[in-house]
Amino acid sequence: LKIVSADFVKGATKASQYPGEGLPEFAFFGRSNVGKSSLINMLVNRKTLVKTGSRPGMTRVINFFRINQTFMLADLPGYGYAQRSAKENEDFDRMLAEYASNRSDLRTLFFLMDLRRVPGETEKNTIEYFERLGLEVVIVGTKADKLSNNEIAKSVRAIAAYCNRTPDMVPVSSADKKTGRDVILRMIEDRCRS
Ligand code: GDP
């Protein structure tokens, strides 16, 4: 898949603001600092389409990007900021639920997990929540460059087992080493066709 164009469309906090272009959409989600912005930039070959290392605590929105005029990427806000207030957490949960349950163009949700971090109940419950809505969730293990090949394999096995998947269902990526790009883009391409 060759990326010809990648354009920021808009940011939205509620369904009435989502872009209505009807293109197949792929969402990216994960704990803050998991490497989501870096991964999206790597996928679309843009250094700064998504700002990396964005400040915690600021008002978060869902950012929509149009790629090649053929599909959309949705950058969902990260979870797990310690500095968030109860009200902010509530708004976050509501925004996510509204998106996941209303976005009919959404094909697949890429759930990013740092390979060095063991997923917990939060991750498991969130995946189950999305799947109950009928969404496909693909776990992506990030920052693979921080681990040896053995450690990567071990981590993928652990993540997959905990999240009821087989290891081959969990692609790994490194924005630093530019790995994982082809696999993820191929998944998107396949899902655009079907
Ligand atoms: P986000 O908060 O999930 O959007 O994460 P960012 O993309 O902003 O990355 C958070 C931090 O992790 C930054 O310091 C990045 O440079 C670093 N980072 C992101 N991806 C990788 C990666 O693949 N390998 C390594 N070693 N660091 C990464």
Q: How far is the CA of 176 from the centre of ligand 1 (A)?
A: 8
| Structure-token pair, residue 57 | 């605590």
C-alpha separations of 79 from 2, 8, 13 in Å: 31, 22, 15
Q: How confident is the model at residue 55 (pLDDT cuts 50, 70, 90)?
A: low
pTM for the complete prediction? Answer: 0.95
Q: Domain segments of the chain: what residues? A: 6-193
Note the pLDDT tens digit of each residue in 115-165.
999 999 999 999 999 999 999 999 999 999 999 999 999 999 999 999 999
The ipTM of this complex is: 0.99
Given ligand 1 and candidates 29, 31, 38, 146, which is best to mutate, with the most ligand atoms within 8 Å of its CB? Answer: 38
41 lines ligand 1 (CB under 6 A): no
Instruction: Report how far ligand 1's centroid is from the alpha carbon of 181 (Å).
Output: 15
pLDDT digits (tens, 9 = 90+) for 60-92: 899 999 999 999 999 999 988 777 888 888 999
Cα 133 to ligand 1 centre (Å)? 29
> Please, what's the largest Cα pairwise distance for the chain?
46
Angle CA(128)–CA(87)–CA(62) in degrees, nearest 5? 60
Mean pLDDT, to the nearest integer, of 53-62? 67
Cβ of 32 less than 6 Å from ligand 1 = yes
Q: Could you tell me which CATH class the domain 6-193 is placed in? A: alpha beta
